[in-house]
Chain A
């Protein structure tokens, strides 16, 4: 990419913003156009199910701050409808065609639909956008009957906690045996305990059998024969990639957009993918392409995608993060590092810290209110999961012409050397947990925050 070029970013969430920011940091001097289907500037989405739904913060408080001037043209309320990679054009409503020299796809995910749920009923909602939170608050004030959330993942648990914080009755319905069970039995037990302590009702191992919708009340008949009358029902059963607009583009969108290790989309030129929609092989773990639906991954992949788009496919570097994530449930902090989902077995690493093991190798960690220990185990994971050496196959120069047919290209596949992992002298930030309070500065130079634990 060079001066006079235009980079189009589709998706105006955190990944869209952070990729634009990185382009400018790298000195990109051309035009940046950011297309987003929501009608507002990028905001901090993790607060939707917590501070926004409780009313602790207002929509204007959650806007994300850019750290450099992104100098972009913003197209809010515009949903891309189609991509033509051979003409290098993004189609917008009204037959508008937006040409690009480089494209960053950052359209993220949308909440998954629950078959049978009456989504046309205003009392049945999802929790993804600021508008969702605002209208859910309105529904909550209209009735003081209990709220119900279906899905016992992070959003479900966060929403239940938000309801209890407001003093509202809430029932969490999930088909797993315990909430957040995928983070191991120890975390699940801690989450269950805290829900019980705060008197949120749990209906686990159950699903909705019948939806009963009348003018005055909304009822749910569960498979455990429980009948719940609700003011509103939130569906929090996961999400699916927002890639429908890429149908017919030639990209593989079977689960997000299939990418090379460098986040370049397979089957297109000068197209990179960032955030929840990217399915790429993280070579730190293996060569299987996967999506990572975590906020920090959106931030980091956005920067990597921007860097690689600027560098070009031949010089691009694999994106090999150590994924990290967090959630707050009531007064507790849940943190994760690595890929707990790949674990075949769990092990107690320390008090409040669960390790996830695959093939005898530590591959992830989850902690409950242990940020200090988590720093240690994150560093430990980084040390134990080094990034293998990567040798991309250089593409023949003739095929770099922008008009080349995608089908004629030889894919640049990574060559992984098996011994590389052992040979690579990886220098982790091992010193972290040992940092003593007075290591570098005297007390007066430091400020303190936080209540302590």
Chain B
């Protein structure tokens, strides 16, 4: 998580220990999450304000509750 903390703004973190790559987040937020052909999940960590609803939907729907949204307020 150390690398993520370099970003101060709104950002996504996915817990690698939890994620089982169901791809539900890809369905909810295709602009933020993608499934690689090798079966791995890729995600864009920095969020624009326009991405917030999609990012929250992905986090809400994650089967493993592995998606954490950070820096959404002035944290």
Contact = CB atoms under 8 A, between A and B. Distances in A.
Interface of A: 18, 44, 46, 62, 64-65, 67, 295-296, 299, 324, 326, 328, 333, 335, 371-372, 374-375, 378, 429, 431-432, 435, 437, 439-441, 445-453
A297 B19 CA distance: 20
Contacts of B27: 324, 375, 378, 429, 432
B31 A440 contact: yes
B21 A437 contact: no
Contacts of B65: 44, 62, 64-65
A326 B63 contact: yes
B39 A452 contact: yes
Q: Most chain-B CB neighbours within 10 Å: which of A64, A324, A375, A378?
A: A375
B46 A371 contact: no
A299 B60 CA distance: 8
A447 B41 CA distance: 8
Contacts, number: 98
A435 B67 CA distance: 21
A446 B24 contact: no
A356 B45 CA distance: 37
A345 B42 CA distance: 36
Contacts of A296: 24, 61
Contacts of A446: 34, 42-45
15 contacts: A62-B65, A296-B61, A328-B20, A371-B22, A371-B23, A374-B23, A437-B42, A441-B44, A445-B45, A446-B43, A447-B14, A447-B43, A448-B36, A449-B21, A451-B21
B24 to A, nearest CB: 7
Residue of B19, B24, B27, B61 with most partner-chain A CB within 10 A: B27
B40 A375 contact: no
A450 B63 contact: no
B5 to A, nearest CB: 13
Contact of A295 (B19, B20, B39, B63): B63
A450 B44 contact: no
Contact of A18 (B26, B42, B60): B60
A431 to B, nearest CB: 8
Given A440-B31, A452-B38, A445 B46 contact: yes
B61 to A, nearest CB: 6
Nearest to A44: B65
B9 interface: no
